[in-house]
Structure 1
Amino acid sequence: MPRTLFIRKQLESGRYNNASEVVRAGLRMLEDLEAEREKWLREEIPGRLTELRQDSSKGIPAETVFSRLEARHRAKQAKA
């Protein structure tokens, strides 16, 4: 959906008074998402890496990961 159409729909919903409010809301959401991502990277990943180093059977082979990603990508393309 083109950005201008999205902004127009948001304005028509009555939730926002102008395009700047829509953009600010979007930026706040992006900031929140990035903060959560950073938190996950700092707090979750180091523990998982330690766990994997202690028991490598918990890992997933790269070939399996790539096969799954390719299958998901093909499925999404088929829907479009």
Structure 2
Amino acid sequence: MTITVAEMKSNLAAVLRKAAAGEEIIVTKHGKPYVKIGPEKPLYDKLPRIGAFKDHPFRMSEDFDELGSEWDEYTR
């Protein structure tokens, strides 16, 4: 749905109801798109914590916590 700023001002409650119901509304100003109004969307998709990596096996090396010789001067 596309409406002008003037239509938005006069029908704000109805426009917000439509947006909350899932309709995307484009508000135009001087014939050009100005803002887009729509339903709230999640910022990101959450992965389930239990079993999230069951199909993505990984392994850790035995010496993962040992620093190399290049760190000797920092660890004295």
- Fold in common (TM above 0.5): no
TM-score normalised to structure 2 length: 0.21
Of structures 1 and 2, the larger Rg is shown by 2
TM-score normalised to structure 1 length: 0.20
Structure richer in helix, relative to its length:
1
Structure richer in strand, relative to its length:
2
Higher relative contact order (CA 8 A, sep 6+): 2
